[in-house]
Amino acid sequence: MWFPFSRYKVVGHSMEPTFRDGDPLWVNRLSYLFSSPKLDDIVTIQLQGQRGKVLLKKIKKVTKDSKYFVEGLNKTDSYDSRHFGPIDKNKILGKVIKKY
């Protein structure tokens, strides 16, 4: 069943100190239905080649061709756009709205 809000649990350290390993999150999957991701939004993304894994990143830059450069907050321990390049909007699943 499809829900507009999803619950996630953080695994890993690339978003510390804001999001720690084990933190539970709410993600709004409708946030970008009629609008575009903005700078500093924390988003969940899904890429090909990651075996379906959902990643947690921050929007650092919007490129001229409307792609999104995402990074982890903990840059020394993050696999992000510095490796796989800017991503399309359709790779962004939703916006993190709350820790609970």
Partner 1 sequence: MFLKTIDKIFPPQPVYAHCDIPCGIYDPYQAQVAAHTVVRMVNLLDEVNASSPEPDFDERKRIISRVARLTSVKEEHAETVKREVRIIWGDYFKPEHAEKFPNLHQLVFDIMKLASKARQEVNLEAAEQLLRKVQEFAEIFWTTKDKEPVRVKSTYPTEGELVLPK
Contacting positions for partner 1 (CB under 8 A): 6-16, 19, 21, 24-25, 27, 44, 50-51, 53-56, 72, 76-79, 82-83, 100
Least separation in angstroms between residue 65's CB and partner 1 is 19
Least separation in angstroms between residue 36's CB and partner 1 is 21
Q: Would you say 8 and 27 are in contact if contact means Cβ atoms under 8 Å apart?
A: yes
Q: How far apart are the first and last CA of the chain?
A: 22
C-beta of 9 vs 64, nearer to partner 1: 9
Q: Would you say 89 and 37 are in contact if contact means Cβ atoms under 8 Å apart?
A: yes
